[in-house]
Structure 1
Amino acid sequence: MRTKLTLLSAALLTASLSSPFIPVSASAAIPQSVNGQMLPSLAPMLEKTTPAVVSVAVSGTHVSKQRVPDIFRHFFGPNGPQEQTQERPFRGLGSGVIIDANKGYIVTNNHVINGADDIQIGLYDGREVKAKLIGTDPESDIALLQIEAKNLTAIKQTDSEEIRVGDFAVAIGNPFGLGQTVTSGIVSALGRSGLGIEQLENFIQTDAAINSGNSGGALVNLNGELMGINTAIVAPGGGNVGIGFAIPANMVNNLVAQIIEHGEVRRGVLGISGRDLDRELAKGFGLDTQHGGFINEVMSGSAAEKAGLKAGDIITSVNGKKIKTFQELRAKVATLGAGAKVDLGIIRDNKTKSITVVLGEADATVSSEAGGIHPMLQGANLENSKKSGIVITEVAQGSPAAMNGLKKGDVIVGINRDRISDLKTLKEQLKDPKGSVALKILRDGSLLYLILR
């Protein structure tokens, strides 16, 4: 039986949202007693918390392009169609969490709503409300929605940096479209990364049973406070085996704040490359600790260089919180946002010290996942050119970007009649595109146009 990591949205389900939830009964809110002794129960907490967790139903159309077979192209001649477009309708179910009752903000996973034309929210009291997409961050798999509705309940917040392994955890979501379901367990591990689920990983691991459809649901503590957003499971054969992952609440809040303020995530960057501090490396440097991020290189002109970081430094904490791996460091820094001041604890020459860094803008130095900019660019990685324009550094085989004719090494220099100089300009131009988009491409010294439909 093959073990695989599975994102939790229940895609391609056609279940109705007419009865999206199974409410906790009123009688369950009263703990039972034995010989006059009251038995412990989660029901009182859940009665206050479950109304903040919603179901998310999406529908849309996947558009793909395929090359017309040579035999047909020969029949139609050189002016005939070179490719054919296929449209496939889809439906899916997931979960979401209300974080602001007054403004109607709901957090879910990006993969739940990705490509959706219609997003419907099922509230705890049975109401169905159409949602507006405010913004997404594909690299961390977070999306922010907004609804217009009265009498909403927002979830309470907690500092996810204070979570400890062994803390009790309760998962609330909409698995398999069955209706709201509650399971409990503990926090099994913290700072999980290197799983290949998302580009930015710093997961809470839990053994609370979560399954397909729980994506975007809440992981809460015994006070009903949000610990994280459920995202993925380790699933041999697609079933739950008690290994689930959630995005920490602090990470979610940092990303949401940027989306609300800027309409997008302005990712922070240190400007370093490095690796985990493992046993062999620690032994070579004569260190007792085996946790931290080892700096291999500091980029010229980067925020790290300006702050005085050097190759060979070992970063052990971010804003007073210890880190275990370089991936955890990367995820925390990237979600804090450009311009944020960060206090880094480091080890240099076997001495500990603290350095304050003002994070740079990620768009200036780091490639960006293009799917969050335009659906037909999904599968391409973009990076600002050293001269002008945007270089395509990678194109995934079979992706929408590849189907649209984009290739590694292409440089985007314009959209329709407008010149494009960098990623920021590209995002602005494609924020609300009308109809087809013509990308002006520089390829092998020649200019051409590619149409994104």
Structure 2
Amino acid sequence: MKSQLSLVSVSIFAAFLLAQPAPAHAKLPFFGAGDQEMPSLAPMLENVTPAVVNISVAGSREVRQRLPGALEQFLGRGGELRQEQPFRGLGSGVIIDAKKGYVVTNHHVINEASEIQVTLKDGRSYKAKKIGEDPESDIALLQIEAEDLTQVALADSDALRVGDFTIAIGNPFGLGQTVTSGIVSALGRGGLGIEGYEDFIQTDAAINSGNSGGALVNLKGELIGINTAILGPNGGNIGIGFAIPANMMKNLVAQFIEYGEVRRGALGVRGGDLNAEIAKAMKAKTNKGGWVQEVIPGSAADKAGLKSGDIITHLNGKKIGSFTEIRAKIATLGVGKEITLGILREDKAMTVKVTLEAAEATTAEAKVLHPMLEGASLSDGKTPDGEAGVVINDVAGRSPAAALGLEKGDVIVGVSRSRVTTTKELRDILSKSSGVIALQIQRGERILYVLIR
């Protein structure tokens, strides 16, 4: 994650909202104050706010400290002392099914927590259990056993437009439930390095710590997104916040409920964002969309007839602005889903139906790849500079991987001068390698090599 990004959620823009007329499709209710009528969101919020909860968590996580040189060789842990340290945290959540007690929040709110407590607006408090979680999209599903719950209705987040009003509800700084407002500043934001799959709603509303996992709703009180992140120096608000679209969340939750995990669908293409330079080279009449550079043989895209050079402009009838947006939307759809892609091929508009196939596993225990990597957990990810690589999520103490000097947060970007961007590529290269193997590691801003024998 870039240093300017911190995982938090949303706040105030009410003065502007009250000063502007509501759009025709979403009129504000008016209530009399003597002879003067004033707009108010209060009636809508009275129905919605009981569906937004406060979440408190507790647990322990491994903390590393550098050791004095005299102890480094004796302990054999790469010069680090590792110990479990308790932690506590606060966040927000949204009830999406009152009968079953399902609560949606961010994965980072409940990550590594052994105790999760959900507190309702009326003060009732319940222990929650995890039903499913997905670090790559930062969504988690909890369940509580309670009566008389209120759920929030889900909107079609694909129907959002820049300029639509938004209302945020959450628990900033642990103050208790807080309601704030803003507008949609942009749609389909990605490439920020916050999460593995990014297709954010951007809002100008203020975002503060503790709002993560809270609700972003429209003027009808329908859920349009789950507040999750902020762009700002030192974690402070500068009016650029992000929410995960409700449709993306809904697709993931359906898989949590059915399978207990995410079973991603895969299209089977490699590509990039279309820009003016590429559009000129390809003689395309559009500057937006996803440019297909390669179709993987035998993939769902290959079977459906997609070709290198195609420009993807629509997904299920909705416009697509970038390849990043396509990647995020596809990744949240399950295996076997049929989608319709609108494409430009030599400036001829076409539609193609594709049935998504199972995605390659993106997470692996490193011992499967090489015995000397035992103790490390790997996943596809990015370097601090935004380049693709294989991230080391964890390294067990006194393991072969720890003895090599590998650390949590390292990113493997190469093997013996061969570039590596995914766990699959790493697996393929290591399976064909013998003798001494040099892993190229990016650690923060430094590049170093680790030798495997």
With the length of structure 1 as denominator, give the TM-score of the two structures. 0.77
Asked if structure 2 preserves the Cα contact closer than 8 Å seen for 1:9 and 1:93, the reply is no
Instruction: Give the equivalent residue in structure 2 for 1:309.
Output: 306
Give the corresponding residue for 2:173: 176
Please state how far the C-alpha of 1:381 moved relative to its aligned partner: 1.7
Residue of structure 1 in register with 2:227 after alignment: 230
Contact in 2 for aligned 1:139/1:369 (Cα 8 Å): no
Could you tell me which residue of structure 2 aligns to residue 97 of structure 1?
Answer: 94
Are the equivalent residues in 2 in contact too, given 1:120–1:131 (CA < 8 A)?
yes
CA–CA separation in structure 2 for the residues paired with 1:306 and 1:140: 27
Quote how far apart the aligned CAs of 1:288 are: 2.4
Distance 1:74 1:268, change over 3 A: closer
Is 1:400 equivalent to 2:394 in the alignment?
A: yes
Aligned residues: 379
- Cα shift at 1:63: 1.9
| C-alpha displacement of 1:311 | 0.4
TM-score by length of structure 2 reads 0.77
> Counterparts of 1:219 and 1:132 in 2: how far apart (Å)?
24
Q: Which runs of 5+ in 1 are unaligned?
A: 11-29, 384-392, 410-421, 424-440, 447-453
| Aligned partner letter, 1:118 | E
Q: Which residue of 2 aligns with 1:380?
A: 378
Partner of 1:188: 185
2:64–2:80 Cα contact (<8 Å) kept = yes
| Structure 2 counterpart of 1:59, one-letter code | A
Spell out, residue by residue over 1:5-25, the C-alpha distance to the aligned partner (whole angstroms, 9 max, x if none). 110179xxxxxxxxxxxxxxx
Measure the CA separation in 2 of the matches of 1:83 and 1:42.
54
Query: Within 2, Cα distance between the matches of 1:73 and 1:377?
Result: 19
Q: Distance in 1 between matches of 2:123 and 2:183?
A: 30
User: How far apart are residue 405 of structure 1 and its match?
Assistant: 4.4
Structure 1 Cα separation of the partners of residues 339 and 128 of structure 2: 35
Query: Cα distance 1:308–1:46, how it changes in 2: closer, same or farther (>3 A)?
Result: same
Q: Which amino acid aligns with 2:99?
A: N
| Identity across matched positions, percent | 58
Corresponding residue for 1:122? 119
1:87 Cα shift? 1.1
Separation (CA, whole Å) in 2 of partners of 1:377 and 1:243: 39
Q: Is the 8 A contact 2:226 2:243 kept in 1?
A: yes
Question: Is it true that 1:368 corresponds to 2:367 in the alignment?
Answer: no
**1:379 Cα deviation from its structure 2 partner:** 6.1
**Using a 3 Å threshold, how does the CA distance of structure 1 residues 405 and 9 change in structure 2: closer, same or farther?**
farther
Q: What is the identity, as a one-letter code, of the residue corresponding to 1:380?
A: L
Does 2:259 align with 1:265?
Answer: no
Where 2:147 maps in the other structure, the secondary structure is coil
> 1:317-332 residue pairs with structure 2 within 5 A?
317-332=314-329
SS at match of 2:249: helix
Q: 1: distance between equivalents of 2:165 and 2:79?
A: 58
Report the CA distance between 1:363 and its aligned residue. Answer: 2.6
Which residue number corresponds to residue 57 of structure 1? 56
In structure 2, C-alpha distance between the alignment counterparts of 1:159 and 1:111, rounded to whole Å: 25
Q: Give the counterpart of 2:287 among 290, 310, 330.
A: 290
Paired amino acid for 2:217 = V
Q: CA deviation at 1:300?
A: 1.2
2:63–2:82 CA contact under 8 A, matched in 1: yes
Instruction: Please name the residue that 1:433 is paired with.
Output: none
Per the TM alignment, residue 111 of structure 1 is displaced from its structure 2 partner at its CA by: 0.4
SS in 2 for 1:281: helix
Q: Contact 1:54–1:123 at 8 Å: present in 2 too?
A: yes
Q: Supply the AA of the counterpart residue of 1:4.
A: Q
The answer (yes or no) to whether the contact 2:137–2:196 under 8 Å persists in 1 is yes
Quote the Cα distance in structure 2 between the aligned partners of 1:34 and 1:153: 30
Say which of 311, 330, 351 aligns to 1:333. Answer: 330
Select between 61-70 and 327-336 the one with higher mean Cα deviation: 61-70
49-58 or 60-69, which deviates more: 60-69
2:32 maps to what in 1? 33
Equivalent residue, structure 1, for 2:5: 5
Match of 2:47 in 1: 48
Q: CA deviation at 1:197?
A: 0.6
Q: Give the secondary-structure state (helix, strand or coil) at the position aligned to 1:354.
A: strand
2:135 corresponds to which of 135, 138, 142? 138
**Hey, what's the Cα distance between the residues in 2 that align with 1:135 and 1:169?**
28
* Local SS of the residue matching 2:207: coil
Counterpart CA distance in 2 for 1:112 and 1:138 is 11
The answer as to whether partners of 1:275 and 1:296 remain within 8 angstroms in 2 is yes
1:217-252: CA deviation from partner (whole Å, max 9, x where unpaired):
000000100000000011223222211100000000
Instruction: Summarize the Cα distance change of 1:296–1:117 in structure 2 as closer, same or farther, 3 Å threshold.
Output: same
Contact 2:169 2:177 in 1 (8 A): yes
Change (3 A) 1:285 1:179: same
Change over 3 Å in CA distance of 1:339–1:75 after alignment to 2: closer
CA contact (8 A) 2:165 2:219 kept: yes
> Is residue 183–residue 210 contact of structure 1 (8 Å, CA) maintained in 2?
no
Give the AA of the match of 1:51: P
CA separation of 1:206/1:158 partners in 2, compared to 1, >3 Å: closer, same or farther?
A: same
Secondary structure at the aligned position of 1:331 is classed as helix
Asked if the contact 1:189/1:206 (under 8 Å) is kept, the reply is yes
C-alpha distance 5-66 of structure 1, shift in aligned 2 (>3 A): closer
Letter in 2 for 1:7: L
Flag structure 2 segments of 5+ consecutive residues without an equivalent.
11-28, 367-373, 382-388, 407-411, 414-422, 425-430, 437-453
Residue 309 of structure 2 aligns to a residue whose secondary structure is coil
Q: Do the aligned partners of residues 306 and 44 (structure 1) sit closer, same or farther apart at CA in structure 2, a change above 3 Å counting? A: same
Q: Which deviations, in whole Å up to 9, do the C-alpha atoms of 1:254-286 show, x marking residues without a partner?
A: 000001001100011111100111001112222
Q: Distance in 1 between matches of 2:68 and 2:204?
A: 49
